Amino acid sequence: MREYLGHLATTDPLHGYLRDAILPQLVQAGQEPRFRVYRVSAESAVYLYEDKWTEVRVVGKFYGRARGLNGSNAPQSAENERRSLEYARNLGLDAPPDYVARPLGVREDLGDLLVVEHLAGEQLDAIVAAAATAGRGDRLFRKLSGLARFFARLHNAAAGPERVDFNRTQGYFDRVVGYLAAHGGLSERRAARLYELGHAYAVRPQHWQDVQVAVHGDATPSNFLFGRGQAVYAIDLERMHRDDRVYDVGRLCGELKHCFLQMTGDIDRAEPFIGHFLWEYAGHFPDRERTFASLSGRLPFHLGLTLLRIARNGWLDANYRKRLVHEARVILSGGLA
């Protein structure tokens, strides 16, 4: 989604900031810039600024606007995301094939603004859609291999020594179910059942045994772009924190289930791609089969949580949101069998 809004007024303080502090980092401008403005997100205050003369593009995110539920409890601010982007880049994710967007500046007095470089690439959403509706599954397999490598590098570069605290993620699960009960038409009986299922996972040792890693924190298809081959570009690290590696891996798998369910009506169409993604991720560890088994054992809780999280979105059809809740309950129940 990109909506053209017009040109940024030269009298706007933002114009001066982009001209004097941001543009010189990217290009040597020969004349007064003229910035075209595009809205790139319907849900958040995120805009693309393009200089008419140099064609340089940057993305501005205004954190002065309230955000939604945050499973990491990390502070939602421009400075917080700037630190997260720099941290990930310092882990070595600053050159293709694994690249995290470069932050260019923060201005708290301009609506708590973060400016980052604009990255060109194909969103994972489009690649999934081509696999689901046009038989392009081979390409999705290849891109998921690249994404598995990206996650493995991110996670392994900042692993341990502290153990996973499953209580924190379970607290997020409870908040999501509570939100659905209050705003999503979830009955008291069904909410109670979901609480029961979610809490049953806490007694399973595998959810506590791994070490914490740095996770992206919002592993949705719109936050990953793909270039040539298996090049991966990551954006939106506002929810980066330390957690179980399955926080990212499981969310991405849950998003795949949602995409295939929404596009084809068959949630199981995602299974070959989920299995491939997990196997490729596990391939970056000394004991691939053991890692794959460990991930698979912890996956159902995170699959169910992801589907419930998506069901909160009010712009989705009410019947589809109910279907997501139903599928989450089936997955959570099956994982305990």
Give the residue from 14, 44, 62 where a domain finishes: 62
Domain boundary among 62, 83, 98: 62
Task: Examine the domain organization and report whether 167 and 47 are in the same domain.
Answer: no
In a domain, residue 250? The reply is yes
Q: Is residue 89 situated within a structural domain?
A: no
Model confidence pLDDT, tens digit, residues 138-191: 999 999 999 999 999 999 999 989 999 999 999 999 999 999 999 988 999 999
Share of the chain above pLDDT 90, in %: 91
Q: What is the pLDDT of residue 68?
A: 43
Residue 48 contacts residue 118 (beta carbons within 8 Å): yes
What is the per-residue pLDDT for 337? 86
Q: What pLDDT is recorded for position 39?
A: 96
Q: Does residue 66 register a pLDDT over 90?
A: no
Residues 42, 127 share a domain: no
Give pLDDT tens digits for 81-108.
999 999 999 999 999 999 999 999 999 9
Give the three-state DSSP class for 162: coil
- Using DSSP bridges, classify how beta strands 35-39 and 3-7 pair: parallel, antiparallel or unpaired: antiparallel
71 falls within a domain: no
Q: Which two tokens stand for residue 177?
A: 């179910």
Mean pLDDT of the region 53-57: 95
Residue 71's pLDDT band (boundaries 50, 70, 90)? very low
Question: What is the model's pLDDT at position 73?
Answer: 46
pLDDT of amino acid 72: 42
27 and 137 inside one domain: no
> Tokens 């501005």 sit at which residue?
60
* Same domain assignment for residues 51 and 162: no
DSSP letter assigned to residue 211: B
User: What whole-number percentage of the chain has pLDDT above 70?
Assistant: 96
Domain end among 46, 62, 78: 62
* Average pLDDT score, the chain: 94
- Positive/negative CA dihedral, 148, 119, 214, 77: negative
Cα 57 vs. chain centroid, distance in angstroms? 22
Judge if 312 and 179 occupy the same domain: yes
The answer, yes or no, to whether residue 259 has pLDDT greater than 90, is: yes
Q: How many domains does the chain have?
A: 2
The answer, yes or no, to whether residue 112 has pLDDT greater than 90, is yes
User: Does residue 113 fall inside a structural domain?
Assistant: no
- Strands (DSSP E) contained in the chain are 3-7, 35-39, 46-51, 57-62, 94-95, 98-100, 103-107, 113-117, 122-123, 213-215, 224-226, 232-234, 241-243
Stretch 179-204: mean pLDDT: 95
Q: Mapping DSSP to helix (H, G, I), strand (E, B) and coil, where does residue 249 land?
A: helix
In a domain, 117, yes or no: no
Task: Kindly report, residue by residue over 121-131, the tens digit of the pLDDT.
Answer: 999 999 999 99
For residue 243, what are the domain limits? Answer: 122-336
Q: Of 149, 98, 137, 141, which is closest to residue 121 (Cα–Cα)?
A: 98
pLDDT at position 8, please? 98
Three-state DSSP string of 23-86: HHHCCCCCCCCCEEEEECCCCCCEEEEEECCCCCEEEEEECCCCCCCCCCCCCCCHHHHHHHHH
- 174: domain CATH number? 3.90.1200.10
Please give the model's pTM, rounded to 2 decimal places.
0.94
How confident is residue 65, by pLDDT bands cut at 50, 70 and 90?
A: low
Domain presence at residue 105:
no
